[in-house]
């Protein structure tokens, strides 16, 4: 009966959308580093930590008001308690564990093992409770019991919670963790040296009435400050034997510090590239809208110069280390990942539909572009894909990979050569329009449904009349281009007008057109 009741509750919670939304919200707020509001939560918690430590320091020599003590001992501790309980709640999906065990037992035609799933749940929760950060969270709550004066000192443990909220501190811990074996070996060696030196100096000095080493604790204190090269000078051996031990300990201490420094330096050296990639990855993930360019080459740089006019950021995916360095030297945002790997896009954690304006494939190989296109099409079907074509025989393969527009530079060069040879004046006009020095530009203006009357009426405005040319309108639905369109044309969402005019006029036309649309 109890088992059936538990299973029913598990199914209810698992299918209850409000409950799941709330749990996902708190999981993102507490654990998801890419959640947009997490940084504000982290700043708030770090502010509480600093405030509680300030109150503790202030209370040493100053009498604080009752309100401040209530705030520090109850309010802040209660907030930390709620945070701890929320983390305990979202640590794992208990209802799913119950459902999985129930369906597994049902499939095998045996009775639901409630005790087995209960042990699994308790085991996972216990893993969280005994984790270092969870223990620090518990210690940070202890000032709640401020009547016991000893618990007030636990306020200092709240400082350790910075490791949970500060990403740089977590990264430092992960770097040092990569050298766990070397660090543990060094720690064991240092402990042995401290123990041996403490006993030796105690044996050599304790029976001398002029020696400051009177107890084993004195010897331990002297060993620690000597091995770690602090040397306060308050305890100094007076016997020849004691000084001989001191010389050996000083040499050993220098060795310990040198080895510790080399371990830390090597850990950072090994992780420096990974740290750089994480920094660039975080920067790319936070962008609201951007172009995704796959592959870096001299052509990529020229394309990016043009895309910058759209005032949208550009993220480049490139796995060649030399090309990555070249691109970053030019101030470009490059992620050192393979564009043909699904793992890359899982690490990026981007929403293609909301963040990516278009994907441009500029690898120096058609095969690489095809693989990248197939990988992206596995994630999204709607994002526009544009690719360069190196070999004409691969055009069909690129089309089958889901690429919307394929550009063959050889065909463009051939077309331009033909224009130069047969229509030199037309070529000069085209060259003038594409020049960055001219104020006349060819621009795209995105249109929306019901805009026909406003669009053509605006063309007769005194500001634009005879100074603004509409080359044509591209119909998105039928994929056709209408040159010199008539005013009775029906404009629909997604249509694009190609205009030729002064850059300032184009910007003003676009602003007025969309302002009129919103009214």
501 strand-pairing partners: 441
433 strand-pairing partners: none
Q: For the CA atoms of 390, 392, 398, 400, what is the dihedral angle to 10 degrees? A: -170
pTM equals 0.54
Q: Right CATH number for 180-273 from 1.10.3720.10, 3.40.640.10, 3.30.70.360, 1.10.287.70?
A: 1.10.287.70
* Count of residues in the chain: 519
The confidence score (pLDDT) of residue 189 equals: 87
pLDDT at 5 over 70: yes
pLDDT at 411 over 60: no
The confidence score (pLDDT) of residue 423 equals: 56
Q: What is the side-by-side order of every strand in the sheet holding 290-294?
A: 333-335, 314-317, 290-294, 356-361, 385-388, 405-407
**What is the secondary structure of 241-276 as a DSSP string?**
HHHHHHHHHHHHHHHHHHHHHHHHHHHHHHHHHHHH
Q: How distant, in Å, are the alpha carbons of 48, 54, 163 from that of 41? A: 11, 20, 14
What count of other Cβ atoms lies within 10 Å of the Cβ of residue 168? 9
In a 13 Å sphere around the CA of 87, the CA atoms on its Cβ side amount to 21
The stretch 211-234 carries a mean pLDDT of 84
What stretch of H or E contains 4? helix 2-15
Name, in order, each residue with C-beta under 8 angstroms of 347's C-beta and a sequence gap of 6 or more: 281, 337
The confidence score (pLDDT) of residue 180 equals: 83
pLDDT tens column, 441-480: 777 787 877 777 777 887 777 777 667 777 788 887 777 8
Name, in order, each residue with C-beta under 8 angstroms of 185's C-beta and a sequence gap of 6 or more: none
The stretch 235-256 carries a mean pLDDT of 85
In a 13 Å sphere around the CA of 458, the CA atoms on its Cβ side amount to 20
State the alpha helices, DSSP H only, in 402-451. Answer: 409-422, 424-434
386 strand-pairing partners: 360, 405
Strand 290-294 to 314-317 pairing: parallel
The confidence score (pLDDT) of residue 418 equals: 47
The confidence score (pLDDT) of residue 443 equals: 77
pLDDT tens column, 22-33: 998 998 888 887
pLDDT at 152 over 50: yes
The confidence score (pLDDT) of residue 518 equals: 46
Structure tokens at 237: 């051996």
- CATH class as words, domain 439-518: alpha beta
C-alpha–C-alpha distance, residues 207 and 198, integer Å: 15
First to last CA, the chain: 63
What stretch of H or E contains 458? helix 452-459
pLDDT at 343 over 60: yes
pLDDT at 71 over 50: yes
Structure tokens at 397: 């393969």
Name, in order, each residue with C-beta under 8 angstroms of 234's C-beta and a sequence gap of 6 or more: 212
The stretch 162-167 carries a mean pLDDT of 68
The confidence score (pLDDT) of residue 312 equals: 72
What count of other Cβ atoms lies within 10 Å of the Cβ of residue 261? 10
Name, in order, each residue with C-beta under 8 angstroms of 398's C-beta and a sequence gap of 6 or more: 366, 369, 370, 373, 387, 389, 406
pLDDT at 151 over 70: no
Structure tokens at 161: 């919670």
Strand 440-446 to 385-388 pairing: unpaired
pLDDT at 94 over 80: yes
What stretch of H or E contains 52? helix 38-61
Instruction: Say which residue, 419 or 186, is predicted with more confidence.
Output: 186
Distance between alpha carbon 230 and the CA centroid of its chain, in Å?
40
Could you state, in order of their start, the residue ranges of all structural domains in the chain? 2-165, 180-273, 287-407, 411-437, 439-518
pLDDT at 95 over 60: yes
- Sign of the dihedral through C-alpha 252, 258, 259, 264: positive
Picking from 483, 482, 480, 491, the residue whose alpha carbon sits closest to that of residue 454 is 491
287-407 classified as CATH 2.60.40.10: no
In a 13 Å sphere around the CA of 509, the CA atoms on its Cβ side amount to 31
Instruction: Say which residue, 424 or 132, is predicted with more confidence.
Output: 132
pLDDT at 288 over 80: no
Picking from 83, 80, 75, 53, the residue whose alpha carbon sits closest to that of residue 141 is 80
Name, in order, each residue with C-beta under 8 angstroms of 269's C-beta and a sequence gap of 6 or more: none
Picking from 333, 237, 329, 231, the residue whose alpha carbon sits closest to that of residue 281 is 333
Structure tokens at 276: 């750089």
pLDDT at 161 over 80: no
C-alpha–C-alpha distance, residues 117 and 10, integer Å: 12
What is the residue whose two structure tokens read 């007076």? 238
pLDDT at 63 over 50: yes
pLDDT tens column, 205-217: 877 888 888 888 8
Strand 405-407 to 385-388 pairing: parallel
pLDDT at 414 over 70: no
Confidence of residue 250 (pLDDT cuts 50, 70, 90): confident
**What is the secondary structure of 208-239 as a DSSP string?**
-TT-S--SHHHHHHHHHHHHTT---SSS---S
Name, in order, each residue with C-beta under 8 angstroms of 417's C-beta and a sequence gap of 6 or more: none
Instruction: Say which residue, 462 or 93, is predicted with more confidence.
Output: 93
Picking from 32, 35, 144, the residue whose alpha carbon sits closest to that of residue 82 is 144
What is the residue whose two structure tokens read 């029906």? 490
pLDDT at 514 over 80: no
């Amino acid at each position: 009966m109890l088992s059936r009741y538990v299973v029913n509750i598990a199914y209810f919670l698992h299918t209850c959308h409000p409950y799941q939304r709330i749990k996902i919200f708190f999981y993102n707020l507490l654990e998801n580093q890419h959640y947009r509001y997490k940084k504000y939560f982290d700043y708030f918690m770090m502010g509480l930590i600093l405030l509680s430590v300030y109150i503790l320091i202030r209370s040493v020599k100053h009498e604080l008001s009752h309100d401040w003590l209530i705030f520090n001992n109850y309010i802040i501790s209660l907030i930390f308690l709620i945070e701890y309980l929320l983390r305990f709640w979202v640590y794992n999906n208990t209802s799913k564990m119950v459902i999985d065990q129930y369906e597994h037992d049902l499939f095998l035609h045996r009775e639901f093992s409630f005790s087995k799933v209960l042990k699994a749940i308790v085991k996972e929760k216990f893993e969280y409770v005994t984790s270092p950060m969870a223990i620090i969270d518990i210690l940070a709550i202890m000032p709640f019991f401020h009547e016991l004066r000893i618990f007030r000192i636990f306020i200092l443990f709240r400082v350790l919670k910075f490791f949970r909220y500060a990403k740089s501190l977590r990264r430092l811990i992960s770097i040092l963790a990569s050298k766990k074996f070397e660090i543990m070996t060094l720690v064991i060696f240092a402990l042995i040296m401290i123990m041996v030196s403490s006993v030796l100096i105690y044996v050599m000095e304790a029976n001398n009435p002029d020696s400051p080493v009177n107890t084993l604790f004195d010897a331990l204190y002297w060993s620690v400050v000597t091995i770690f090269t602090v040397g306060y000078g308050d305890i100094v051996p007076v016997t020849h034997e004691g000084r001989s031990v001191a010389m050996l300990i000083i040499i050993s201490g220098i060795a310990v510090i040198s080895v510790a420094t080399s371990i830390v330096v090597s850990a950072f050296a090994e992780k420096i590239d990974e740290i750089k990639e994480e920094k660039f990855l975080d920067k790319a993930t936070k962008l609201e809208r951007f172009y995704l360019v796959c592959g870096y080459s001299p052509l990529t740089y020229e394309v990016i110069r043009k895309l910058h006019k759209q005032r949208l950021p550009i993220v480049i995916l490139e796995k060649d280390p030399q090309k990555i360095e070249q691109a970053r030297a030019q101030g470009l945002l490059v992620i050192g990942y393979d564009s043909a790997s699904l793992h890359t896009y899982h690490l990026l954690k981007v929403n293609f539909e909301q963040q990516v304006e278009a994907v441009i494939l500029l690898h120096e190989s058609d095969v690489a572009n095809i693989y990248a296109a197939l990988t992206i099409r596995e994630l999204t079907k709607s994002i526009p894909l544009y690719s360069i074509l190196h070999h004409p025989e691969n055009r069909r393969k690129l089309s089958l990979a889901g690429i919307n527009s394929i550009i063959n530079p050889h065909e463009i060069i051939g077309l331009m050569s033909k224009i130069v040879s047969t229509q030199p004046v037309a070529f000069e006009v085209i060259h003038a329009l594409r020049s960055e020095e001219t104020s006349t530009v060819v621009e795209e203006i995105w249109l929306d449904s019901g805009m026909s009357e406003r669009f053509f009426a605006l063309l007769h405005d005194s500001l634009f009349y005879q100074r603004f040319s509409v080359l044509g309108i591209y119909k998105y639905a039928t994929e056709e281009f209408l040159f010199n369109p008539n005013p009775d044309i029906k404009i629909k969402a997604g249509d694009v007008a190609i205009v030729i005019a002064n850059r300032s006029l184009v910007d003003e036309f676009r602003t007025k057109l969309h302002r009129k649309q919103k009214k």
